[in-house]
Structure 1
């Protein structure tokens, strides 16, 4: 079963997805890390972010790997072509590069095919920006998780302080979030939007435990429906 969590940058999707997966006993498919890994390699190789063909070649040819610790839903390490980029993909430079990279249709096509093969083999919580609309439109649970731009900026600053990576200037982070919202919502390929059948969760005034609980409740209801489905009409 797939639980799809979409939403804008800084909405807390990764944190929520990890907690939901842990609660449900699912795994997390970190699709965002895949795009970040491509962006990271492009920057390291000096690739022009406007060169769609070069970016697509990285997405098609590079080997992206996730290493997991037993019992942990999220991968403990991300590598691309054997290089550990776990920390490198969370820098400010990659933050700014990932939207133009992920906007290239051929990049998305190459990575989506990998994501679908992985996700359809088990029970996964998958977060991103087009999971419920493009990657797993058949997902049993679809959530669009959002919050105000200001609240998302505050959260991102706190996160950057905690991990000692990225900008801690509120105005700079807010401007970057607003810019990314515009890029992600206006791109031609799989723009950021809520699926028609997604549940909208505005977490601006919600505690994270409330968000996690709400999504787990949706997932358990879907599991119950799936379990009952074979008996329908019997």
Structure 2
């Protein structure tokens, strides 16, 4: 892969809640067109890092940049306008709105349209007039991804996008993500499915106690079994 300029730069970031620090001098980057998998046991800082990137946690030091622009002090909706699309853990769709209304509510002018999302997820076309709260878990996850794409992001952040889904739905989600990667979308993904990530991610970043404990490409990740045992318990 040719080296591209980063779309996301996390530069020596420390952050936490109240007086407690969760992230310590953490740095990572996602280049344009690259997929980076963020791994680590529970409580190691993955969720806090995601919240820091999306504006939900205030930094105590360091800087985060999207496409070269510092997002320090910006509100979550302003960060989204910088080109970040979020698929949050738990989906957080608007259950009282229809599928169509959920998608339209986040729409920003660009390449992704309602028809494009329906082509990506034909099931959402069939369920367009159904309330989001009436959808199955898999359908809600499709809707969460579609909603993020409707912001026409340059970087997609996915937090446990396949967790708790039936195997056939997980396969559909991974196929869609592979299609997005092929289209050149930059992706930062948190997921527990190492088998799927091995064939999907370009690089892996492993967190331990709020710090980057290991990073490397897919070949290095597969070769370093000690990393799996030490930091992931695999």
TM category, shorter: 0.3 to 0.5
Larger strand share, 1 or 2:
2
Q: Which has the higher contact order (CA 8 A, sep 6+)?
A: 1
Task: Tell me the TM-score normalized by structure 1.
Answer: 0.33
Task: Tell me the TM-score normalized by structure 2.
Answer: 0.33
Larger helix share, 1 or 2:
1
